[in-house]
Amino acid sequence: MDQTRRTTCALAACLALLIASQTRLAADPPANEAEWISLFNGTDLTGWVTPQNDHTWRVVDGVIDYEAKGGNLVTAEQFEDYTLRFEWRFKRTAGPPYHAKVFNPDGTQKKDENGKPMTRPVANADSGIYVRGTGKSQVNLWCWPCGSGQLWSYHTHKDPALRKGALPRVKADRPVGQWNEMQITVRGEKITVVLNGQTVIDTVMPGIGSKGPIALQHHGGYNAKKKQWNPASALVQFRNIRIKKLPKQEWVDLFNGKDFTGWKFHLGKTGTENKGTFKAVDGTIVCTGRPAGYIYTAESYSRYTLEYEWAFKRPENLTDDAKFRANSGCLIHIGKANALNIWPVSIEVQGMYRDAGLILPIPRSVKCKHTFDREALNKVRKPVGQWNKNVIEVDGGEMKIFINGALISTVSGCELTEGPIGFQSEGKEIHWRNLRIREE
């Protein structure tokens, strides 16, 4: 056999093996395939509620096809927490160019040198996913410069954190005509959107509720009189729509209101015995502030949401809250003790009244990136002596800290990813109550 024939045979054999391997892999379902439920059977719209009026929702060649007439296509079933996976594409754009908004990284609309809001003409198509069945819960699909995934109802929100969170982190869309893969995870009012392998949204959508149907959005349409398409028309197709229902994560009380079962103490450099620094009083933890140290959970945690309320005892002679200097803090991912004086390796969510929510790595050499919004804090922090509520969302080395509903600080890329949770005794009397955790 000459060299040419040997090479040809070898290539043919390799190709046959590759095809066989791909066929086998395609035939082997994922190990957790049973957890996924198909929302579209590929032949008709069973399980979906179509618009009552004339509409163009159809099944064409195994995909859901829409020509922007009629209304939304809605699941008959309602869902609570879930992960939704599907593919979508725009068949084409139509109509005159659409003047799409252009955004700054903080989610505000850019302005030109004359102060006029900026737009950019684009060839456009437009649809979306309602994750709780209403327009308030919309995840945009479109051809805008910012990319698909934007949370339209929050893009002009007065809360700067929500406005920024509604803007896609990156434009991950494929060109019109090509299929996109999208995954949307909804837990309560928290939403994460992954488009073509890139996380474009990871934020909260306050007010969308905890349960609802899923809707494929109608948008635009054809104007017969003008013989022209609206430039934001849903000329769209969907396929491979599957959902995995997520188990309801239950809240667990960290403090039973009576004693410190499940907690440990570190007071001073070596003290492990609580001699009145922390007291259980009428369902509240009362900390005298002396000696310095901390109380911490016996268990370690990595991915969770932590909620608690806190209030300092208001001095009788305090007339100006801005001069109040009391200190404390919540310690996340506690590690080795006495890393900075008496404080352990951890990420401190500052509890000092004037700097509540500020991120302090302990020691300062702990690697992480963090942000702090003092303006937001000053708007929502309550007067000394009144209860404030902290919500801390932790996903390993990623964290978000909310105070009284406003996003105050974030942590990203932290090298600490797991550990107990603690609260500091640091000189002044402070109270905590309603401590609870929900693991993800």
Reported as a pLDDT band with limits 50, 70 and 90, residue 32 is low
User: Mean of the pLDDT values across residues 384-394?
Assistant: 97
Q: For residue 225, what pLDDT is reported?
A: 94
Domains 32-245 and 252-439 share a fold: yes
The percent of residues above 90 in pLDDT, for the chain, comes to 85
Q: How far apart are CA 33 and CA 303, in angstroms?
A: 24
User: Mean of the pLDDT values across residues 398-404?
Assistant: 95
Residue 38 vs residues 75, 86, 258, 349: alpha-carbon distances, Å: 12, 10, 48, 42
Q: For residue 253, what pLDDT is reported?
A: 97
Segment 184-227, tens digit of pLDDT:
999 888 899 999 999 999 988 888 988 999 999 999 999 999 99
Q: For residue 162, what pLDDT is reported?
A: 85
Q: For residue 440, what pLDDT is reported?
A: 76
The percent of residues above 70 in pLDDT, for the chain, comes to 93
For the chain, give the mean pLDDT: 91
Among 2.60.120.560, 3.40.50.970, 1.10.10.10, 3.40.50.300, name the CATH number for the domain at 32-245: 2.60.120.560
Residues in the chain: 440
Answer yes or no: is pLDDT of 30 > 70.
no
User: Mean of the pLDDT values across residues 232-238?
Assistant: 97
Answer yes or no: is pLDDT of 3 > 50.
no
Q: Cβ atoms within 10 A of the Cβ of 438, count?
A: 17
User: Mean of the pLDDT values across residues 96-100?
Assistant: 97
* Cα radius of gyration rounded to whole Å, the chain: 27
The residue with tokens 């990156």 is 170
CATH of domain 252-439: 2.60.120.560
Domain residue spans of the chain = 32-245, 252-439
Q: For residue 189, what pLDDT is reported?
A: 85
User: Mean of the pLDDT values across residues 263-274?
Assistant: 92
Answer yes or no: is pLDDT of 169 > 80.
yes
User: What is the value of pTM for the model shown?
Assistant: 0.64
